[in-house]
Amino acid sequence: MANILGLSFGYHDAAACIMVDGHLVAAMQEERFTRIKNDPGYPAHAIAACLKRAGLTVSDLDKVVFYEDPFLKTERVLLNAIRYFPAAWKQFPKAIASQFADKIWVLDQISGRLDIDRKKISCMPHHLSHAASSFYVSPFQEAAILTVDGVGEHATTCLWHGKGKDITLLRSIDYPHSIGLLYAALTAYLGFKVNSGEYKVMGLAAFGQPVFKEEFSRLAHTCPDGSYQLDLRYFAHHTDTEMGFSPLMESLLGPRREASKPWDVTSPEDKRYADIAASLQWLTETLLLHLAICAKTLTRSDNLCLAGGVALNCVANTRLQNESGFTSLFVQPAAGDAGGALGAAIWGAVQSGDPRPEPFTTCALGTEADSSRAIQLCKSLGLSYSLPGDIHAETAALLSRQQVVAFVQGRFEWGPRALGMRSILAHPQRPGIRDKLNVLVKAREIFRPFAPAVLETDAGNWFENTQTPMAPYMTSVATVKPARAGEVAACTHVDGTARVQTVSEKSSPGLCRVLQALKAQGQPPVLLNTSLNVNNEPMIASEIEAISFFLSRPIEAMVIGDVLIQRAS
């Protein structure tokens, strides 16, 4: 039995996770504490919070596991710079400086920062940490596993077979051929920030049609053995330090979009970019489906686990669910690099002889919302607050009166999606609520969709195909039943789908009780649920951040624990 700390940092989405005697105790991203979106830095705050939650000190740790192999990473960076020289001449000095300044010595840095014996620090392959992060917390004892991202050490895509505590590599695809970097290149082409704007591209795709299939078919092709290859003439991630696509990409698709220009998806210009996003989505799904069918053939499994940043594409996940031949799919909510900390911690625990952890039932793995702290802040700021006898029934009543409520209860979520612990909630039939939230509250692009949260037991009344292990974590989409579309209009995307969250007492107890109270009051147990943050900021973690949000944004009420804060009448 062991205390294992898993870490991921150095590139983006730094995180820490702690396992105690085979039990998952805490998992947190550093961005929640530093307020730096996708913070890549050493996760000092997340480590401290995880240790505090576990009641441990650094001296109690048996092992610290880093989520990738820094030596193999450096090898790939240097080999790539040499392989593509002189085209990669811009990369060479930057690669040398980056890798040898700090990244190759990361295990020693961890030892020094934690003041822990270097012998307790180990590392593991990047894609194995992704595989472990999904399979070990899935409901499956046996599954095919696909890990797909930008790049780890050498691999960008891996196919594994998981059985019990064993994970076996079957096939891999190496850099520079990468679905993640394909998607990143087009994310940049469309004017969004790489490693944080990909989900915007996915949302934009629904406003277009894949009319550029012929052009996108030139960017990548599938191979008979189940792999794929990029046509590198259109890309620059292997030669350039700044740009992921080459001038030939713009010759093929037209000029890139200006990053600072406001979006208007009704204009001919932006409709064209939406069509490009839709064509990218089509190609991504095509490549993933090809991989999944190969995984099915090789493993003959009924189950598929997905991980890596590409696994956060919930539209693609749903297509795999429907067309790949697998009976059931699972994607844990922090599938990107943050999830590497989870995989590293669990792998370290399993290798130490601990059992597999229990399957995920909730992603509430962060720090707790503190009602007493909220009361102190309200008093010091002169804010009106109350302590209703039934905070969930009172929240439901406010929502029934079509007020917007910021909802902060329990431990904050693991992953990028609000699941009822740090959420903004609204009635899905409130007139104009979509535009109000996008423009006035969250200050983000008008085309961005919102998600519905619905009681797990009632989901089938509003949505098709919600009986999947992905549904509690918003890692898949469902089709809205046409007869009920008017009841959930504000959280239905333009293509008639919704990124549904099914809610139970286990997965999100506070939100579950609000939905149950709505149902008891004669209202549909469905709410618009969006993350408690503004554009390009991390989700709220603490009470002071929550109250600051309330004071600065036009929402009617906020719940923090048992405390209800409302505007002065």
- Residues 433 and 547 reside in one and the same domain: yes
d(CA 470, CA 461): 18
d(CA 35, CA 48): 16
Is pLDDT above 80 for 92? Answer: no
Is pLDDT above 60 for 89? Answer: no
Which CATH number do you get for residue 268? 3.30.420.40
> Would 545 be classed as within a structural domain?
yes
d(CA 336, CA 201): 16
pLDDT score recorded for residue 387: 97
> Would 306 be classed as within a structural domain?
yes
Higher pLDDT among residues 260 and 62, named by residue: 62
CB 173 within 8 A of CB 151: no
> Would 447 be classed as within a structural domain?
yes
- Residues 250 and 345 reside in one and the same domain: no
> Would 158 be classed as within a structural domain?
no
User: How many alpha carbons fall within 13 Å on the CB side of residue 24?
Assistant: 26
DSSP-assigned beta bridge partners for residue 63: 4
- Taking residue 86's Cβ as centre, other Cβ atoms within 10 Å add up to 8
d(CA 432, CA 434): 6
Tokens of 188: 């940049």
DSSP-assigned beta bridge partners for residue 478: 498
- Residues 410 and 485 reside in one and the same domain: yes
> Would 134 be classed as within a structural domain?
no
d(CA 70, CA 455): 44
DSSP-assigned beta bridge partners for residue 304: 144, 329
Q: How confident is the model at residue 14 (pLDDT cuts 50, 70, 90)?
A: very high
Domain that holds residue 54: 3-67+69-123+340-352
The CA-CA-CA angle for residues 336, 342, 346, to 5°, reads 140
Helix, coil or strand: residue 110: helix
d(CA 519, CA 523): 5
- Residues 96 and 226 reside in one and the same domain: no
The CA-CA-CA angle for residues 335, 225, 296, to 5°, reads 55
Name the residue type at position 566.
Q
Lowest mean pLDDT across 146-155, 164-173, 436-445, 473-482: 436-445
Q: How many structural domains comprise the chain? A: 3
Strand runs labelled E in 21-128: 23-29, 63-66, 121-123
pLDDT score recorded for residue 211: 98
- Residues 345 and 379 reside in one and the same domain: no
Tokens of 376: 């102190």
Q: What are phi and psi of 3, to 5 degrees?
A: -105, 115
The CA-CA-CA angle for residues 330, 332, 333, to 5°, reads 130
d(CA 160, CA 144): 6
Domain boundary among the residues 320, 352, 384 is at 352
pLDDT score recorded for residue 431: 81
Q: How confident is the model at residue 93 (pLDDT cuts 50, 70, 90)?
A: low
Sign of the torsion angle spanned by Cα atoms 433, 436, 439, 443: negative
CB 133 within 8 A of CB 153: no
> Would 289 be classed as within a structural domain?
yes
Strand runs labelled E in 141-189: 142-148, 155-163, 166-174
- Residues 346 and 401 reside in one and the same domain: no
Tokens of 152: 């780890």
Torsion, Cα 222 227 230 231, to 10 degrees, reads: -60
- Residues 292 and 230 reside in one and the same domain: yes
Helices 198-205 and 268-299: crossing angle, nearest 10°? 100
User: How many alpha carbons fall within 13 Å on the CB side of residue 264?
Assistant: 6
Is pLDDT above 90 for 24? Answer: yes
- Residues 182 and 235 reside in one and the same domain: yes
DSSP state of 16: E
Lowest mean pLDDT across 410-424, 435-449, 493-507: 435-449
The CA-CA-CA angle for residues 369, 371, 375, to 5°, reads 130
pLDDT score recorded for residue 98: 62
CB 152 within 8 A of CB 298: no
DSSP-assigned beta bridge partners for residue 564: 386, 559
Q: How confident is the model at residue 377 (pLDDT cuts 50, 70, 90)?
A: very high
498-545 confidence digits (pLDDT tens)? 999 999 999 999 999 999 999 999 999 999 999 999 988 999 999 999
Tokens 């259109």 identify what position?
234
Domain boundary among the residues 294, 318, 352 is at 352
Domain boundary among the residues 304, 320, 352 is at 352
- The mean pLDDT value for 374-397 works out to 96
Is pLDDT above 60 for 381? Answer: yes
- Residues 189 and 80 reside in one and the same domain: no
Q: Is 17 exposed, middle or buried (0-12, 13-18, 19+ CB in 10 A)?
A: buried
d(CA 438, CA 533): 11
> Would 395 be classed as within a structural domain?
yes
Contacts (Cβ under 8 Å, ≥6 apart) of 484:
461, 462
- Residues 507 and 543 reside in one and the same domain: yes
Helices 198-205 and 314-323: crossing angle, nearest 10°? 60
d(CA 292, CA 295): 5
Tokens of 110: 């961890």
Tokens of 459: 């989901």
Is pLDDT above 90 for 567? Answer: no
> Would 162 be classed as within a structural domain?
no
Higher pLDDT among residues 172 and 103, named by residue: 172
Higher pLDDT among residues 122 and 241, named by residue: 122
d(CA 145, CA 292): 9
- Residues 55 and 85 reside in one and the same domain: yes
Helix, coil or strand: residue 229: strand
- Residues 316 and 376 reside in one and the same domain: no
